[in-house]
């Protein structure tokens, strides 16, 4: 961001106030320049009138003083007079004396009584010679007197008579006016800033209510579950800009609310269907599997093709039973049914699951890192065992032989952490954000060959969240990390009893 961008106000309120103040300041500056110019023009016109009225009388009197030697010309103080004959300054004086200077030049000639001779430099003489004797006023600068408004006329003796009036009273008057305007305009800007801030605050109050409503809506959990979108903008007057924004926002919130309601209805019907279908499929799948196993145990001779078909029926019914159980578990977790809660020894679970994984994949290199003391958390031991087993099975299934897989258990102030790390090929970046979603497979062909249903990690996340924890995944080539956190808090005893009943029902195949 540039320096100008950093200095610019960020809020609409500040920008409006600053914009109004800048506009007022520009207007005030224009007024000051215009009034100052107009006043100076008026005062200079007055000087021109005085010069026109006086003619060359003062310059003439310098050569012909009165008989008593006294100055009776009645000129205003500061009036300058000079007489030029054949290009030579014969007389130069000023009424009332010369302001004090540093290095006063030597006077050419003295003036009359009550006057002071004006010292002129060569530059001053050249300036006076250059004045046209037409009677039209011109501005000149004399080294001893400063700025003057002068007019030159031709005298009766063929000389040039110059009369001048000082401009410093005009400049002082204009400067005094500008100073007064500066003070008045500064006070006006201060009042405008206070009034503008208050006015803009009041004017933007409906917009602030729109923003507050939008912020409250943005904080709602719109991703899942039933959402109450009862928030509405109170300012919906179509006659104002903010009212039109509020009307459009209210209309949009209504459409979003309807869409979320329809989505929730669809999700609830899908959950109910998954739960009902899984529940209804448990007994038929178990019956198919049982009859296939019974046929395989028939004491009589069984043809080899029939035996092979029965073995395939047994394997597929077992896989179907696993899918049904996983779907039923996810449906119950989606419905918010509490799990059984008791003190669970995660250390024992980690030992058992690591031993099972080592037996299932002896060509992998399995490592187990446990703390010195047993780690205990409140939860459902059966489901937490399923979490650890699914994480290890995921690492075993999606990595080649020889991969090193590490199961680490540690604790902190908030609870326990279970981490499964492998140095396999990693998860594709486009797949990583979806690994905890249902029926997501990194390699569909391999997943079906190895018996993966795409529900293992979804069950991990659902169970961990049901325990109040989190599950995350990070992966780069050569380093894939699945980490779950479980809190150390306990639930109430009433929820514990309800969880125990649910846990017993989950384990009863007849339900």
DSSP states of 285-353: HHHHHHHHHHHHT-SS---HHHHHHHHHHHHHHHHHHHHHHHHHHHHHHHTTPPPP-EEEEHHHHHHHH
From 310, 336, 362, the end of a domain falls on: 336
The string of pLDDT tens digits covering residues 381-406 is: 988 999 999 999 999 988 999 999 99
Tokens of 373: 């003391």
Burial class (CB in 10 A: 0-12, 13-18, 19+), 436: buried
For position 446, what pLDDT does the model report? 44
Is the distance from CB of 402 to CB of 366 less than 8 angstroms? no
| More confident of the two residues 111 and 427 | 427
Which element (helix H / strand E) includes 177? helix 168-203
* Percentage of the chain lying above the pLDDT 70 cut: 80
From 305, 336, 367, the end of a domain falls on: 336
Q: What is the 3-state secondary structure (H, E, C) of 377-390?
A: EEECHHHHHHHHHH
For position 301, what pLDDT does the model report? 79
The DSSP output letter for 99 is P
Residue 48 maps to a domain: no
Supply the pTM of this predicted model. Answer: 0.50
From 313, 336, 359, the end of a domain falls on: 336
- pLDDT of 496 > 70? The answer is no
Domain match, 363 and 428 both: yes
Q: How far is CA 3 from CA 8, 22, 441, in A?
A: 9, 19, 51
The confidence band for 64, taking pLDDT boundaries of 50, 70 and 90, is low
| More confident of the two residues 75 and 152 | 152
CA-CA distance, 216 to 232, in Å (whole number)? Answer: 10
Domain match, 186 and 316 both: no
CA-CA distance, 223 to 233, in Å (whole number)? Answer: 22
Tokens of 16: 């409006």
CATH number reported for the structural domain that contains residue 263 in this entry = 1.10.287
CA-CA distance, 251 to 462, in Å (whole number)? Answer: 35
For position 357, what pLDDT does the model report? 93
Q: Which of 38-47, 97-106, 126-135 has the lowest mean pLDDT?
A: 97-106
Domain match, 359 and 490 both: yes
Q: Could you tell me the residue range of the domain that residue 394 belongs to?
A: 338-507
Domain match, 250 and 325 both: yes
The confidence band for 364, taking pLDDT boundaries of 50, 70 and 90, is very high
Domain match, 79 and 22 both: no
Largest CA distance in the chain: 169
CATH number reported for the structural domain that contains residue 440 in this entry = 3.30.565.10
Residue 51 maps to a domain: no
For position 511, what pLDDT does the model report? 33
Q: Which residue has the tokens 């007994």?
A: 283
Domain match, 242 and 136 both: no
Q: Is 359 helix (H, G, I), strand (E, B) or coil?
A: helix
The DSSP output letter for 432 is G
Domain match, 237 and 305 both: yes
Residue 104 maps to a domain: yes
CA atoms within 13 A on the CB side of 312: 6
Domain match, 370 and 354 both: yes
Residue 208 maps to a domain: no
- pLDDT of 209 > 70? The answer is yes
Arithmetic mean of pLDDT, 261-273: 72
* Percentage of the chain lying above the pLDDT 90 cut: 34
Q: Which residue has the tokens 């995921």?
A: 394
The DSSP output letter for 400 is -
Domain match, 79 and 16 both: no
Q: Which residue has the tokens 């006023």?
A: 137
| More confident of the two residues 221 and 497 | 221
Q: Which of 224-233, 337-346, 441-450 has the lowest mean pLDDT?
A: 441-450
Domain match, 379 and 318 both: no
Q: What is the CA radius of gyration of the chain?
A: 51
Highest mean pLDDT among 31-40, 241-250, 300-309, 487-496 belongs to 31-40
Q: At what angle do helices 205-218 and 241-296 cross, to 10 degrees?
A: 0
For position 97, what pLDDT does the model report? 67
Residue 183 maps to a domain: yes
Arithmetic mean of pLDDT, 127-132: 92
Residue 149 maps to a domain: yes
Highest mean pLDDT among 151-165, 196-210, 327-341 belongs to 151-165
The string of pLDDT tens digits covering residues 285-321 is: 778 778 777 777 777 777 888 778 878 888 777 777 7
Domain match, 462 and 489 both: yes
Residue 46 maps to a domain: no
CA-CA distance, 183 to 228, in Å (whole number)? Answer: 58
The total number of structural domains that make up the chain: 4
CA-CA distance, 454 to 448, in Å (whole number)? Answer: 9
- pLDDT of 27 > 70? The answer is yes
Which element (helix H / strand E) includes 173? helix 168-203
| Among 115, 112, 117, 111, residue whose Cα is nearest residue 69 | 112
The DSSP output letter for 207 is H
Domain match, 131 and 188 both: no
Residue 211 maps to a domain: no
- What is the pLDDT of the chain when averaged over all its residues? 80
């Amino acid at each position: 961001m540039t320096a100008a961008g950093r200095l610019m106000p960020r809020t609409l309120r500040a920008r409006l106030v600053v914009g109004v103040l800048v506009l007022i300041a520009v207007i005030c500056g224009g007024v000051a320049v215009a009034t100052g110019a107009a006043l100076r023009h008026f005062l200079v016109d007055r000087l021109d009138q005085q010069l026109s009225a006086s003619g060359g009388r003062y310059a003439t009197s310098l050569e012909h003083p009165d008989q008593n030697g006294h100055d009776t010309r009645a000129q205003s103080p500061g009036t300058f007079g000079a007489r030029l004959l054949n290009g030579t300054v014969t007389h130069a004086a000023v009424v009332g004396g010369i302001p004090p200077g540093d290095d006063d030049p030597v006077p050419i000639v003295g003036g009359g009584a009550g006057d002071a001779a004006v010292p002129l430099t060569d530059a001053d003489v050249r300036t006076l010679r250059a004045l046209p004797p037409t009677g039209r006023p011109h501005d000149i600068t004399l080294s001893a007197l400063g700025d003057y408004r002068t007019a030159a006329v031709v005298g009766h003796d063929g000389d040039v008579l110059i009369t001048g009036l000082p401009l410093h009273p005009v400049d002082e008057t204009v400067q005094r006016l500008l100073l007064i305007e500066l003070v008045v305009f500064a006070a006006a800007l201060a009042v405008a800033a206070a009034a503008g801030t208050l006015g803009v605050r009041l004017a933007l109050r409906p917009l602030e209510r729109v923003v507050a409503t939008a912020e409250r809506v943005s904080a709602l959990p719109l991703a899942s579950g039933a959402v109450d979108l009862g928030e509405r903008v109170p300012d919906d007057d179509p006659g104002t800009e903010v009212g039109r924004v509020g009307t459009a926002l209210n209309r949009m919130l209504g459409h979003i609310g309807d869409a979320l309601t329809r989505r929730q209805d669809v999700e609830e019907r899908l959950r109910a269907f998954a739960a009902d279908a899984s529940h209804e499929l448990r007994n038929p799948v178990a019956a198919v599997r049982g009859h296939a196993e019974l046929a395989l145990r028939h004491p009589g001779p069984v043809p080899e093709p029939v035996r092979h078909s029965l073995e395939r029926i047994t394997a597929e019914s077992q896989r179907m039973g696993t899918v049904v159980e996983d779907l039923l578990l996810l449906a119950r977790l989606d419905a918010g049914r509490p799990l059984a809660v008791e003190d669970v020894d995660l250390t024992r679970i980690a030992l058992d699951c690591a031993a099972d994984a080592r037996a299932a994949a002896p060509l992998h290199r399995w490592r187990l890192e446990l703390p010195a003391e047993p780690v205990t958390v409140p939860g459902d031991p059966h489901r937490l065992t399923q979490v650890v087993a699914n994480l290890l099975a995921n690492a075993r299934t999606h990595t080649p032989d020889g991969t090193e897989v590490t199961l680490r258990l540690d604790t902190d102030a908030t609870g326990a952490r279970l981490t499964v790390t492998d140095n396999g090929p990693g998860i594709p970046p486009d797949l990583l954000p979806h690994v905890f979603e249902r029926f997501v497979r990194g390699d569909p062909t391999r997943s079906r060959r190895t018996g993966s249903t795409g529900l293992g990690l979804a069950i991990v996340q659902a169970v961990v969240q049901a325990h109040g924890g989190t599950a995350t995944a990070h992966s780069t080539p050569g380093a894939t990390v699945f980490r779950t956190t479980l809190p150390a808090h306990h639930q109430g005893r009433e929820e514990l009893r309800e969880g125990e009943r649910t846990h017993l029902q989950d384990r009863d195949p007849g339900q």
